[in-house]
Structures are given as C-alpha cells and as structure tokens.
Amino acid sequence: MDDLKVIETKDLLLAAIEDYKAGNSEVHPYDLAKELEKLRDLDEKEYEFICKKIPSELFAEMLCEMPSYIQEEITEVISDKKIANITSKMDSDDASELIYNISQKDEELAQTILSKLDNEDKEIIERLNSYEDHEAGSYMQSELFSATLDEDIGTAVKRLKKLKEDDLLDNIFHVFLVDRNGKLIGGIGLEELILYEKEQKFSEISEDKITNYSSSHKSDISEVVEMFTHYNLSALAIVDDNGKLLGRITHDDIHDIIQEQDTKQLYSLAGVNDDAEHEESIYLIGRKRAIWLGINLITAILASVVIGLFDATIQSLVALAVLMPIVASMGGNAGTQTLTVTVRQMALGEISYEDAKKTISKEVLISLANGFIFAFIIGFIAFFWFKIPLLGFVIALSMVINLLSAGFFGAVIPILLEKFDIDPAIGSTVILTTVTDVVGFFSFLGLATIVLL
C-alpha cells in the first residue's frame, strides 16, 4: 500500500515540476510542499531524488511553506550550492529564516551557504538575523516599493511594473514615500494611487490619502501584531531609530506569528513545550513533557499531604471520600475557565497589570455567583444521598470557598507572573491546580472535622 502511495506522490511531483518548467504550473507551492513532506515520510530516497529535481525558483516557494525542522535538515538532501541558489530566490525574511534554521543544526554550514551568496543578499540576511527573536526587525523583509515626493506617479508605476516582471517584488500594497535621505514620510495604497494622473507628482497627493503607520525595528513584535489587528493593516513600514525606512512586515507574516503565538499559548497551558513538539526525537519530546509531569507529581503529593492531615476524619465518615473529588474538580474547572480567559485577554492586550483590580473583582463575582448556585445543588444531592443534613451544609460551604478561591487565583496568578516577566501561560496551570486542590480538600475536610465530628 505504501509503495503505491510513493509512486502516486512521486508522479504528482514530477508532473508538477514539468508543468512549472513549461510555465503551466497550476498547483500551489503549499500543496506541493505538503506532497513533498508526505513523500519524505514514505520514502527518504525518493524524497531526496525529487528534491534534487525541483528547480530552485519553485523550491524557494515550497521551502517557505515547510516546517523549520525540514529546513534545518535540507543540507543533508541537496548541495550547498543549490541551497544558496534557492536562498537567493526567496524574499529576504524567508531567506533569513532559512539560514537561521540551518544554523541551529550546523552554524559552520550556514556560514558556508552565506558565503556563496552575493554581497548584497548576504548583508541583508546577516542584518535581519542580528535582531532578537522578539524584535520587529527579525520579521521584516527589505523588498519594498518606495518613491520620493518629487517623482511623478507614472514613472514610479513603470518602475513597479519592471520589478514585478523581474520577480523582485510581490505582495505590494503600498508605495512608501520617503525624503531624499530615505526617511519615511508615509504610505499610500495602490488603490488610492490609481485615482491620480500619471503626470502628477507624489507631492500633489492629498495629505489625507497618506497614512503614517510605522514601527521601529526594535519594537516588540507583539506591538506590531496589535497594530495590524487594531488598524486592519495589510503592510507596515519598519524604520530605524532615525525614522529611515528599512523594510516592511506584511499581513501574511503577522498571520503566521499569531498562529505561532496561539499554538505556544495552548501548549504552555497544557505544560507542553512548543519547540520540543516539533522535534522528531521521541526521547526529546518525552523528556520535555516529563519535566512538567514531574512538577505536577510534586503538587499532587502536596494535595495528598493535605488529605493525610484529615485521615481520621475520612475514616470516621466514608461519605467524605466519595464527595471529596467533586469539590476539587469543580474548583479546578472554575479556575481553568478564569485562567484561560485572563491569559487570552492578556495576550490580546486587553488586560494589563493596571487593570488587575477590575479583572479580579469581575472574576471573583462570577465565581461567587456560580459557587452559590452549585453549592445549593450539591448540598441537596449530598443530603438526599447520605441522609446527613450537616454533610450537605459542609460540602455546600466548601464549594463556595473553593470556587471563590478559583476565581480569585485564576485571575491573580497570571497577572502576577506577567508582573515578574514570567510567561503567564507557562506556570499558571500548575500553580492554580495546586491551589484549588489544596483549598478544596482543606476547606471540605476541615469543615467536616469541625461541624460533623
């Protein structure tokens, strides 16, 4: 069955390569990249054979759509010379990412590939890779379309047409206007530009048609993401400390960044390392997960210690052991709801440390309301189940206490972690689970000891 899949996938890719060479390509590079990934999993030899057959221009488009671990290992499949050629066909941001990924596995090899590029491409890639991961400059591309105020629109459009014909630019949405020193003045959308006559100069364009959205190359990328989402941008100019235009970030890059952030946040809330999950080694993935499982084990032991303090109470009334998990489970779920909402709103910039009092108050009120509702329900269930009126009162009061603490700590923990520059998505779940378990068991068993015994 696998042999048939190999043949089908190989034939599809070979046909797509021939169509591309003939200028009749109808399959999107993303779809070809997925087929190539499939072939890699099915048969490594055929995968290498196809990789060597793919033209550099097509491979540049396909490789951008492939995960980082495949980019890292591409040097094992094709020659340094071809990789350098592929790199030269990429947009600068994609090229810098490829070289960076290769350097993660073999720094010396990455430098060898860089040395095979022309000086301009090499300089651009090195500059982009010099930025920190969180800085806007590391995500920008140097390819853009700019014009000076004294240039006429017709000349600029002809220049854009030539750049497009030579495949030197794509995804162009704006003309960025600069002064003679390259300092950014603003930008005008191409849909606005067509309203003007070709003979007109850019200086004649009405000021209300020129946008001035830009960001510093040192800005945190999260700030750039917020600008795109708040102002519905398709591209954003990136400038240096003196306001000189350096490059741009486009909406497709922001989409990828948002997806990465969402994935990282989801993994972090589950105690899973995002980077580790992209590893192919089962050992490395298992080791990263084991760290968090170990932390969970310690917190579980802490909750068990609390239970152990009331072993005599539990032995005296077996019903407590039956009802005990209900209190802890309800507290854990209520806390997770608050925690998830808080962390997500923090990630979207809707909550800050300054808003802490308002956020905490809201979550406490919601949890308190739910606490009374479910306390009433579980109180009656416990009463009719075990025919002990005071047992219903104990579990009801414990439910209120635990849901109240779940709402409070579910909001407080991530806010405090962010205050101390700790990613709130990483440690919040483990801390919160410990708190709700300890408070739930201690309040329920403590009240039972006082009221029932």
Question: Three-state DSSP class for 249?
Answer: strand
Residues 47 and 107 in one domain: yes
Residues 194 and 236 in one domain: yes
Residue 412 to residue 408: CA distance in whole angstroms: 6
Does residue 64 carry a pLDDT above 60?
yes
Does residue 35 carry a pLDDT above 90?
yes
- Of the three residues 91, 112, 136, the one that is the final residue of a domain is 136
Query: Residue 230: which CATH number?
Result: 3.10.580.10
Residue 257: inside a domain, yes or no? no
Structure tokens at 181: 């020193």
Distance of alpha carbon 349 from the chain centroid: 15
Query: Residue 377: which CATH number?
Result: 1.10.357.20
Residues 360 and 442 in one domain: yes
Residue 260: inside a domain, yes or no? no
Residue 243: inside a domain, yes or no? yes
**pLDDT, position 295:** 73
Residue 268: inside a domain, yes or no? no
* pTM for the structure as a whole: 0.68
CA distances to 125, 139, 140, 237 from 217, in Å: 15, 9, 8, 9
**pLDDT, position 277:** 47
**pLDDT, position 319:** 86
Residue 262: inside a domain, yes or no? no
Buried b (16+ CB within 10 A) or exposed e, 76-105: ebbeeebbbbbbbbbbbbbbbbbbbbbbee
Lowest mean pLDDT among 47-56, 61-70, 167-176: 167-176
pLDDT 10s digits, 395-439: 999 999 999 999 999 888 888 877 777 767 666 777 888 888 888
The mean pLDDT value for 82-107 works out to 92
227, amino acid identity = M
Please list, in sequence order, all residues whose beta carbon lies within 8 angstroms of the beta carbon of residue 326, skipping any fewer than 6 positions away: 378, 395
Structure tokens at 276: 């580790």
Residues 161 and 89 in one domain: no
Please list, in sequence order, all residues whose beta carbon lies within 8 angstroms of the beta carbon of residue 265, skipping any fewer than 6 positions away: 343, 344, 347, 425
- Of the three residues 73, 105, 136, the one that is the final residue of a domain is 136
Query: Residue 48: which CATH number?
Result: 1.25.60.10
Buried b (16+ CB within 10 A) or exposed e, 204-230: ebeeeebbeebbbbebebeebbebbee
| HSE-up of residue 440 (Cα within 13 Å, Cβ side) | 30
Please list, in sequence order, all residues whose beta carbon lies within 8 angstroms of the beta carbon of residue 6, skipping any fewer than 6 positions away: 39, 42, 43, 46
Residue 310 to residue 306: CA distance in whole angstroms: 7
Residue 265: inside a domain, yes or no? no
**Among 101, 109, 188, 99, residue whose Cα is nearest residue 151:** 188
Residues 153 and 126 in one domain: no
- Of the three residues 217, 251, 285, the one that is the final residue of a domain is 251
Q: Residue 340 belongs to what domain range? A: 274-451
Residue 9: inside a domain, yes or no? yes
Number of domains in the chain: 3
